A and B are shown apart, each in its own frame.
Chain A
Amino acid sequence: MEYLTCNHMTTQEAFYSYIVRLGDDSLILGQRLSEWCGHGPVLEEDIALTNIALDLIGQTNNLYELAVSIENKGENIDQLAFLRLEKEYENLLLVEQPNVDFGYTIVRQFFFDVYRKLVFEALCNSTDERLAGIAEKSLKETKYHLKHSSEWVIRLGDGTEESHRRVQEAVNTLWKFTDELFFQDEVDQNVIELGLGVDNSNFKATWNSHVEHVLTEATLTIPTNSWQHTGGRKGIHTEYFGYLLSEMQYMQRAYPNMEW
């Protein structure tokens, strides 16, 4: 890999961070979804949510493998997944939000899936073939996830009075984390320049119109309060995150340097 400099970051460093962020999004959402296993509202949904979790953990695996091959800091993928400090994870705030109920879980998934589909579609053309390969495989999965989450948003929104109320509340609560999907910093600028990563500002309008279209069909509305929260991409998380990590990291912290 060549060492071009933009600001104070090498391309290699930027690409590494970019991949790790993609992996962190998959990992943290996969971790959240796996909390549902055995507790779903119907058996078929238990299986569906577990399936999505499984895809996300698989993506994490592939993305972290790529990251450690880009920049070998002597760490393996499990050290990346389980042994970083809270501020070293750079996932979106959206994906670390708690499950709350099936409505929140579906809305969180829907916002993410619309975004992720656009990201992977664009990444299929990454100048890095390995990343393009991961994107292609992940895109197939994400299309299925999006179909699943969109259908449920519509069913719940246009279901009963109670389901409408619950899912609208989820939309209202989670909306403030959606601007962050389009966050950019020098990491992005570096990888965009070389065609390694995608310019997510290009598809903000598409994201908005897709989301609006589905929410309208679901008889749901986009909240008018536009105050937005960011921080995940800079390692500044919500309070929920520390608990998620302490559970996820438990084994690696309690029994360091062992094979499982």
Chain B
Amino acid sequence: MNHVWDTLAADWPMILSKTGEHMYLSLISVLIAGFIAVPLGIFLTSHKRMANTIITVVSAIQTIPSLALFGFMIPLVGIGTTPAIIALTLYAVLPMLQNTYVGINGVQPSLLEAGTGMGMTKWQMMSMVQLPIARSVIMAGVRLVAVQTISLATIATYIAAGGLGDIITRGIAMINTVTIMEGAIPVSLLVISVNFILLLLNRALTPKGLRHLNKF
């Protein structure tokens, strides 16, 4: 047991810095994906014919095995942080896009009729009615994506993008369970805490009049 503590004490600074890299990769990817997916989702709700095509294309990306997608990045953009972020972003777009699209489309037609009938412009309808009501569905998409991206970012090590995957692969190479754990446990802790924080954030931001509908 002593051996475990000694290793942990020696590796601590390295674990911290790899966790930092990991969070950076995940956060940047989720942010970029969010900035693409949410506006695109909003746009597609008023361009329904285009919506099917685009959602199908984006879904196709999800079917590429993750390891392969990271591999495809090498001839295109080389190795390192940038290709990793691109790959993670590509994976992150679909759930957020889908939730934005579904959330906004899920607003009751009677509310839209009432709004239009009272003289709201399209933009006012979106900002005053559709987005506030769809917000918690969109947030659920963000939460899903955050969790998924943190897990997936462990593979970024294969294209030399750093992160906690570095520790795990090293542990595998050395057939050293303690080292594997030093990489795996922080990943799990990150997933759990990010999920929890976003859950609380969503609760706090949900308008009071909609809270009774939130079952999660």
**A associates with B:** no
